[in-house]
Structure 1
């Protein structure tokens, strides 16, 4: 199983698509962080602003690019690897290997999940380092929705918690893509369905905005009041997407 997962990782990282998507992402991250540095302020799209320093910049930088990652970059990567090979017919040869259908499905998802964690983890680490080097230093941080400041250690944990939740949301989007690709294998059409579906889900249930732009739902979930609905809809939708995707894959003729 490890060899199968490793094979999938190589297939993902050796493609030019990964280089292009990664390059676009890091260029946008540099641009967004540079804009924050030049202005000195972080503005919430949903209202309010904060003076930036080394403790709030690492997670605040994601306010500008979380939408791009969840709505475009990751879905493009996901649909290409989950649907592209099935649509082209190449996956028929791949399935001749001595593994069960479930193992093949799981290895693909785990390889994409590891790729997500690498992206998000690298962003977290580089953001913390750059904030420490280039932004004003502060000893305290006032969390979103709180009134009392916290020390640097708790502020660091807040940043890590933000990125962990963001990674979880990205994994939820992966499961959503997996489900869609089982029914719509053509990559371009699958991406359009995901894009339109992510927007439509907001109108159906506001808490499902996590699949469109997760920044606000995450900071709200990390606020002192918390957000039980965030966890209910996130974990519930992940379980539903995974179940439908697996059942469909087990019965699908490739």
Structure 2
């Protein structure tokens, strides 16, 4: 299984398209970080804002960057892994190896999870560094309630948890896109349909709004706001449905003909 995961990672990461996408992803994050820092204000919604400083900056970069993740990075990586390899016939040579369909499927999901996990960790580090460089230093910070302050260590840990929750939300998004990629035969149709489905669900069903915009849901969860109670349940539902449906379709697809 370890060899299979290494093979999956190698095929996905070493492709020129993937390298370009990942480089552009980091550059997009840097651009948004510089752009957001120039205003000095972070938003929960249009009515609730927080003054940005070196300690509370990291979560607010994700407000805009989440759109990039949903519109560009996640669809391109997942469609590349689950759809393009299948429709181009490249995956036939992989499927002749003595592994079960469950192992092949698990290797793809684990590989995508590893790539996204490493990327999110790098982005968290970058956000912390850029916050210290671009914004005023402070021994303590707050978010939307000035009466609740966080020390430097508490703020760093809060920011880490914020990016960790975002990571799990991305796994849920990946599960949805993988289902669409296995359902449709065209990579382009899979890409477009995935975006429409994610934003359609995210903007029309409140508990699943993290599919379209995640920042408010994560703040609700981590700050103990009443509306945050549904976030974990919603994540479990999307992950369960997405993984379950994509696994069933992966086992039923014919990769050898």
TM over 0.5: yes
1:1-254 matched pairs, under 5 angstroms: 1-44=1-44, 46-144=46-144, 147-226=147-226, 227-254=228-255
The alignment's C-alpha RMSD in Å is 1.7
Name the CA distance, whole Å, in 2 between partners of 1:102 and 1:127.
Answer: 37
Query: Secondary structure at 2:22's aligned position in 1?
Result: helix
Unaligned runs of 5+ in 2: none
**Quick one: distance in 2 between partners of 1:81 and 1:3?**
17
Moved more, 25-34 or 77-86: 25-34
Alpha-carbon offset, residue 72 of structure 1: 2.0
Quote how far apart the aligned CAs of 1:146 are.
7.1
Deviations 1:5-61 (A, max 9, x none): 011111111111122212222222222122233333334554333221111111111
Larger mean Cα displacement after TM superposition, 107-116 or 228-237? 228-237
Alignment partners' CA distance in 1, 2:184 and 2:110: 21
> Retained in 1: the 8 A contact 2:58–2:127?
yes
Q: Could you list the runs of 5+ residues in structure 1 that have no partner in the other structure?
A: none
Q: Secondary structure at the match of 2:26?
A: helix
Runs of at least 4 residues off by over 6 Å: none
Contact preservation (8 Å) 2:70, 2:195: no
1:188–1:128 distance in 2 versus 1, CA, 3 Å: same
Question: Given that residues 87 and 186 in structure 2 are in contact (C-alpha distance below 8 angstroms), is that contact kept between their aligned partners in structure 1?
Answer: yes
2-side partners of 1:39 and 1:46: how far apart? Answer: 14
TM superposition shift of 1:203:
4.9
Q: Bigger CA drift: 163-172 or 125-134?
A: 125-134
Instruction: Specify the SS of the correspondent of 2:76.
Output: helix
- Give the paired residue count: 254
Task: Give the whole-Å Cα distance in 1 for the aligned partners of 2:146 and 2:135.
Answer: 22
Deviates more, 1:114-123 or 1:65-74: 65-74
Deviates more, 1:212-221 or 1:77-86: 212-221
Q: 1:51 and 1:233 mapped to 2: Cα distance?
A: 30
In the superposition, relative to structure 1, how do residues 46 and 98 fare at CA in structure 2: closer, same or farther (>3 Å)? farther
- Say if 1:159 and 1:89 are closer, same or farther in 2 by CA, change over 3 A: same
State the TM-score, normalized to the length of structure 2: 0.92
Relative to the length of structure 1, the TM-score reads: 0.93
Q: Relative to structure 1, is the Cα distance of residues 216 and 225 closer, same or farther in structure 2, using a 3 angstrom cutoff?
A: closer
Query: CA-to-partner distance for each residue in 1:205-235, whole Å, 9 max, x for gaps?
Result: 2121211121221112212225121111111
CA contact 1:162–1:218 (8 Å) conserved in 2: yes
